[in-house]
A and B are shown apart, each in its own frame.
Chain A
């Protein structure tokens, strides 16, 4: 009868000496690699920072782009402008989502009768994905009011928002279409065999899965819309970037631009975390499922 080298203490819930040794070893390795990665990162960052702050132009760059007093002074105006960005993003976002989904459904309808719908949706997407957004904003913003049609609003904000909606709906329609077409045909077949109509299949089986799958790319488009909402400033309204430009012109100090950039980033990051959280709560775990 041989005595085991490391007496295992199975049964009383205590890990064996060997297991404890393994854990110590793993902890040691983890500490070591964390230390090395920290040192490597610090070294690289340190070199870059040292380079920047010892460069001959640094004092002037710091005074021009990172002036705390100027940042404080320009903050209210930039935030005022940002409020416009946020309002435009929210209002347009809702309309774009509805219009984009409608276009995607139109483009995926089956059967020869629905051909005109498919044709229209395809032509629309091709046209507005191809046109530069700034061009659409100029044509609508300065062209539509020039018609002098009574009843048409001449507000720059309205036409700028229209241009954003037209352009972005095309992008979002394609995202939704990708989602719809990614739902496996067996899902449709199962739904139809249970007696659901085409409409009910879309509504209860296909679209819920499709939308969940495209939440991350939709988020991309929302963030992009938040920034592009500033483009309507060319029509005369004041958004965050425009407000920063006005503040900059007073004394040629570029700090307000940095303030605007920081505010945009502060808006985007919480939005991204929120959508990830919502998607996870709704049972979206990516293509890999729960593995």
Chain B
């Protein structure tokens, strides 16, 4: 006589059923994308709060990382409209017909912004450089800022006063992880010493203060900000020569987001009417930095 496993079989069966039950795939209806309706004269036609399928109807949710760094944001508060990216976000919202109080901000760490899965924002402004490889994973708006990479250091460092990229070969450089600055450091300068990578630019600045590294590779506005506000004796060594296609920051959107065409149209319109240029003049240091040969 066999003892029937009176308990185990039903439990296993129930578990399997429960698993099968929770997996009823939710077929996501492709949202009717509010494509700019045709008229070549105004690509923004059809981009209105009523037509746009945003996360919350009637509001535009903009994401950025925390802490939000200068000169892109001021006082770690993206909602105050101060700082270049904050100002650009409100300008985009304005072009799409959202009032200031219809814009909400979400804290979105960089890795969350680029991961697959449901997004907690409509668009994300986080100094993310546009690249074709990255387009496989996310949507980008058109570029709202043209980036130049620079090298900064402290007065009297081994690379202070160097004038060519070749002269930086022997330097111990640092950069933030996952940035195009790091790529520029490793590939364009290609120093003999391994480039140090840091989680944040703040840690890189700390290492530079400790003289654990000779210089940091960052985008030009951040470089100005670091040498002016974060370092006591910071100097800009110079800008790296531009290579191939100019690098641009773009807003990150979910892949296949119905908002992409409209956000792109808004950014294009801002570039067109001189708003971007005006905001650059207002928030980003426009004094020149020497060009490295």
Interface status of B114 (Cβ within 8 A of chain A): yes
Contacts of B16 in A (CB 8 A): 43-44, 47
Question: In the docked arrangement, what's the CA distance between A1 and B270, Å?
Answer: 115
Q: Which 3 A-B pairs have the closest CB atoms?
A: A249-B178, A236-B196, A251-B133
Interface residues of B in 89-148 (CB under 8 A from A): 114-117, 131, 133-134, 136-138
A55/B25 in contact, CB under 8 A: yes
> Which residue on A lies nearest to B256, using beta carbons?
A60
Q: Mark A45-74, 1 if CB is under 8 A from B, else 0.
A: 001101100111100110110000000000
Interface pair B197/A57, CB less than 8 Å apart? no
A64-B137, A249-B179, A252-B114 given; name 7 further pairs at CB < 8 Å: A50-B23, A57-B117, A61-B116, A156-B212, A235-B207, A236-B174, A253-B136
Tell which of B19, B183, B197, B206 touches A242, judged by Cβ atoms closer than 8 Å.
Answer: B197
**Cβ proximity bits A233-246 to B, threshold 8 Å, 1 near / 0 not:** 11111100010011
CB within 8 Å for A154 and B117 given contacts A246-B182, A252-B134: no
Could you give, for residues 243-278 of chain A, a 1 whenever the CB lies within 8 Å of some chain B CB and a 0 otherwise? 001101111111000000000000000000000000
Instruction: Say yes or no: B23 contacts A54, CB within 8 Å.
Output: yes
Min CB gap A85→B, angstroms: 15
A-contact bits for B176-204, CB 8 A (1 contact / 0 none): 01110011000000000010111100011
Contact B25 A234 (CB under 8 A): no
B273 contacts the other chain (CB 8 A): no
User: Once bound together, how far apart are the Cα atoms of A60 and B256, in whole Å?
Assistant: 12
Name B's A-contacting residues (CB within 8 A).
12, 15-16, 19-20, 22-23, 25-28, 114-117, 131, 133-134, 136-138, 174, 177-179, 182-183, 194, 196-199, 203-204, 206-207, 209-213, 255
- What is the CB-to-nearest-CB distance from B287 to chain A, in angstroms, rounded to a whole number? 29
Given known A-B contacts A142-B206, A142-B210, A253-B137, A248 and B178 have beta carbons under 8 A apart: yes
Q: Chain A: which residue is nearest B206 at the CB level?
A: A142
- B210 pairs with A251, CB closer than 8 A: no
Encode contact with B along A217-246: 1 for CB under 8 Å, 0 otherwise. 000000000000000011111100010011
Whether the Cβ atoms of B137 and A251 lie closer than 8 Å is yes
- What residue of chain A has the Cβ atom nearest to residue B196's Cβ? A236
Do A56 and B116 have beta carbons less than 8 Å apart? Answer: no
Residues on A with C-beta less than 8 A from B203 are 142, 234, 236
Nearest B residue to A67, CB-CB: B136
Please state if A245 and B210 are interface contacts (CB–CB under 8 Å).
Answer: no
Contact of A44 (CB < 8 Å), options: B12, B117, B134, B138: B12
Query: When chains A and B are docked, how far (Å) is the Cα of A139 from the Cα of B116?
Result: 35
Tell whether, in the assembled complex, residue B137 and residue A252 are in contact, meaning their CB atoms are under 8 Å apart. Answer: yes
22 examples of A-B residue contacts, CB within 8 angstroms: A50-B20, A55-B25, A56-B27, A57-B117, A60-B116, A142-B207, A145-B210, A145-B211, A146-B209, A156-B196, A234-B198, A234-B199, A236-B196, A236-B204, A236-B213, A238-B194, A246-B177, A246-B178, A250-B183, A251-B131, A251-B133, A251-B136
Q: Collect the chain A residues with CB atoms within 8 Å of residue B116's CB.
A: 57, 60-61, 64
Q: Are B137 and A237 in contact (CB under 8 A)?
A: no
Q: Is A197 an interface residue (CB 8 A)?
A: no
Task: Determine the distance from Cα of A142 to Cα of B206 in the docked complex, in whole angstroms.
Answer: 7
Rounded to whole angstroms, the CA-CA distance of A251 and B115 in the bound complex is 11
In the complex, A154 Cα to B210 Cα: how many Å?
Answer: 8
Nearest Cβ distance between residue A248 and chain B, in whole angstroms?
7
Q: Which residues of B contact A60 (CB under 8 A)?
A: 116, 255
Chain A: interface size category: 35 or more
Smallest CB-CB separation from B16: which chain A residue? A47
* Interface residue? A16 (CB, 8 A): no
Question: What residues of B have a CB within 8 angstroms of the CB of A56 in the complex?
Answer: 25-28
Cβ–Cβ < 8 Å partners of A48 in chain B: 19
* A40 in the interface (beta carbon within 8 A): yes
The listed residue with most B CB atoms (<10 A of its CB), out of A48, A60, A154, A236, is: A236
Interchain CA distance A57-B116 in the complex, whole Å: 8
For B22, list chain A residues within 8 Å (CB): 51
Using Cβ atoms and an 8 Å threshold, which residues of chain B touch A155? 212
Determine whether the beta carbon of A242 is less than 8 Å from that of B177.
Answer: yes
Q: Is the CB of B210 within 8 A of A249?
A: no
Q: Which of A64, A146, A237, A254 contacts B210 (CB 8 A)?
A: A146
A51 touches B198 (CB 8 A): no
Among B138, B207, B210, contact of A252 (Cβ-Cβ < 8 Å): B138
Of all chain B residues, the one with the shortest Cβ separation from A155 is B212
Cα distance A253–B138 in the bound complex, in angstroms: 10
Q: Is B23 touching A238 in the complex (CB atoms < 8 A)?
A: no
CA separation between A242 and B117, bound complex, in Å?
A: 23
Pair B133/A54 contact, Cβ less than 8 Å: no
Q: How far is the CA of A238 from the CA of B174 in the complex (A)?
A: 12
Shortest CB–CB separation between residue A135 and chain B, in angstroms? 14
Across the two chains, which residue of chain B brings its CB closest to A62?
A: B116
C-alpha gap A257/B22 in the complex (Å): 28
* Set A40, A148, A154, A245: member contacting B178, Cβ < 8 A: A245
